[in-house]
C-alpha cells in the first residue's frame, strides 16, 4: 500500500525546487496534492512532471484572499486536508548596512507571515491525525553574514512549530519543522547573476557542509514524507535537520 494513500495535501511553493519534489513524492505515494504558486507557466510544468493526483492553483502565499480561495477549493473538492506543507519562501542576501524596509517586509511577508495565515485558513479542514510541515532552513541555527531577514524568518517557523504543537494537541494535529541544508534548487540560482558568482557561492557553502556536496530536492522530500506519514506518529514540535550536517558542526 502507498504510504499516503487517500490523503489530501496542500503545498505552497509547489511548482519548483523542494516544493515540487515534495509534491512529486506525495503524489507517487498516493496523496492528492494541491500545489500553488504565483507563476502559471511553472505550475503547468509542475503538473506535467507530477503527472497524476495533482491540482494546481495560481495564488500568492502572501494574499489572504488567495488563501481563502485555496481553502474553499479544497473544501468543495475534497472536504478535508490531511497534510499542509508551508514551503513558499524567498532569500535575498543583504548586509545590515544596506538592508531596506522593502527588503525586510518582502521577506517577512512571504517567509513568516504567509505560513501563519496558510495554516489558519486550512486548519478548519484538518482532522485528527493531520500533519503540518513547516519548511525552514538549517540557517535558523546558524550565523551567516547577509542573511539577517532570511534566517530570522526561518527561526520564526521554529517557534511556530513549538507553539502550534501545544495549541493543536487536543485536535490530534502534529506540527513539525523540516530544515534543509544547502539544496540545489532555483532558490540557490536566484541569489546570483552569473555562473562565476554561483560557483563562488556554492564553494562557500560547501566549505561548511560535512557531507561535502549540495543536497538534492528529492532527498529533502524523503524527510517531508516521513513527517507527513504515520512513520512519524510520535513526533510533534520537532525540528528534522535534513542538512548534510551544515547546522550541526
Catalytic sites, residue numbers: 150
C-alpha cell at 105: 517586509
Residues 6+ apart with CB under 8 A from 121: 64, 67, 68, 70, 71
d(CA 91, CA 241): 19
Beta-carbon-side half-sphere exposure of residue 2 (alpha carbons within 13 Å):
12
Task: Name the 3-class secondary structure at 114.
Answer: helix
Burial class (CB in 10 A: 0-12, 13-18, 19+), 46: buried
57 in Cβ contact with 69 (< 8 Å): yes
Amino acid at each position: 500500500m502507498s504510504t499516503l494513500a487517500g490523503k489530501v495535501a496542500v503545498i505552497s511553493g509547489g511548482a519548483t525546487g523542494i516544493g515540487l519534489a515534495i509534491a512529486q513524492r506525495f503524489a507517487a505515494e498516493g496523496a492528492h496534492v494541491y500545489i500553488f504558486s504565483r507563476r502559471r507557466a511553472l505550475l503547468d510544468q509542475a503538473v506535467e512532471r507530477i503527472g497524476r493526483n495533482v491540482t494546481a492553483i495560481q495564488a500568492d502565499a502572501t494574499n489572504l484572499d488567495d488563501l481563502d480561495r485555496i481553502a474553499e477549493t479544497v473544501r468543495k473538492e475534497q472536504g478535508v486536508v490531511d497534510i499542509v506543507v508551508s514551503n513558499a519562501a524567498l532569500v535575498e542576501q543583504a548586509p545590515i548596512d544596506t538592508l531596506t524596509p522593502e527588503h525586510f517586509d518582502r521577506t517577512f511577508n512571504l517567509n513568516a507571515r504567509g505560513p501563519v495565515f496558510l495554516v489558519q485558513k486550512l486548519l478548519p479542514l484538518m482532522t485528527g491525525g493531520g500533519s503540518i510541515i513547516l519548511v525552514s532552513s538549517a540557517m535558523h541555527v546558524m550565523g551567516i553574514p547577509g542573511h539577517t531577514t532570511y534566517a530570522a524568518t526561518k527561526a520564526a517557523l521554529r517557534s511556530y512549530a513549538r507553539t502550534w504543537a501545544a495549541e493543536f494537541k487536543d485536535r490530534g494535529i502534529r506540527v513539525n519543522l523540516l530544515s534543509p541544508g544547502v539544496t540545489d534548487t532555483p532558490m540557490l540560482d536566484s541569489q546570483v547573476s552569473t555562473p562565476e558568482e554561483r560557483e563562488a557561492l556554492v564553494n562557500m557553502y560547501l566549505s561548511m557542509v560535512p557531507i561535502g556536496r549540495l543536497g538534492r530536492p528529492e532527498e529533502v522530500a524523503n524527510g517531508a514524507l516521513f513527517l507527513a506519514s504515520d512513520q512519524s506518529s510520535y513526533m510533534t514540535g520537532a525540528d528534522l535537520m535534513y542538512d548534510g550536517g551544515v547546522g550541526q558542526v
